[in-house]
Amino acid sequence: MAILPILLYPDPRLHRVAAPVARVDDSIRTLVRDMAQTMYSAPGVGLAATQVDVHKQVIVIDISPTHDALKVFVNPEIVASRGASDVEEGCLSVPGVYDKVARAQWIRVRALDAEGNAFELDADGLLAVCIQHEMDHLRGKVFVEYLSPLKRRRILTRIRKQERRAG
Ligand code: GNR
Ligand code: NI
C-alpha cells in the first residue's frame, strides 16, 4: 500500500479527462487500495484517480466515520437524477476552501466494482454529492470552477500567496 501525492489546484493535470477502464485487473485493484489509503490518511470522504495523477475512471468513497464502508466506482455513469441540493463542499485538491455547489439531490449511478462486476446504487445526501464531485474530477472539473469569477480569483490569490510563503 502507498500514500500517493494529491495534485493541488490550479495544477493543469487536474483538468485532464480520465479514460474508461478497459479491464478491472490487479493493477486497477492496486490503484484502488492506494487511493483508499490516501483518502483515509488525508483524511477525506472521496478521491478520484485524477487527483493522484492517474487519468482513469476510478473513484473511491467512504463517508462512514469508522472508515469501514469503502465504495469503489470504475467507469461510473449517472443514469438517473432528481431534485436539487446545495451542500457545502471541500476538496483535497483545494485545501481550506469550502463552498456550496448546486447538485442533484438524488442520483442512480451505474459502475463496475473492484472485481469488475457491474452494479447500480441509489444515493442521496452527502453520498450523492460526493459521487457527483468525484465524477467531475474524472471530467477534469474542480468544484471551485462552479464558483463566481470573483470567488475563484480570491482563492487563486490566496493559493499564490501561500505558494510564495512556502518558497
Ligand atoms: O473529503 C471530501 N469532502 C467532501 C465534502 C463535501 C463534498 C465533497 C467532498 S469530496 C472531498 C474529497 C475530495 O476532494 N474528493 O475529490
Ligand atoms: Ni475533490
The three-point CA angle 143-148-153 to 5° equals 90
Domains and CATH numbers, the chain: 12-166 (3.90.45.10)
Mean pLDDT by 10 residues, the chain (167 residues): 96 99 98 98 98 99 98 98 97 97 98 98 98 99 98 96 90
Smallest CA-to-CA distance from 113 within 61, 43, 53 is with 61
Q: Which protein residues have a CB closer than 5 Å to ligand 2 (ion)?
A: 91
Note if the pTM is more than 0.95.
yes
Pocket test for ligand 1, best of 40, 91, 132 (most atoms within 8 A of CB): 91
Query: Can you read off the three cell numbers belonging to residue 106?
Result: 438524488
The ligand 1 atom nearest the CA atom of 93: 14
For atom 13 of ligand 1, the residue with the nearest CA is 91
The Cα–Cα gap between 76 and 94 comes to 23
Q: What is residue 140's DSSP assignment?
A: T
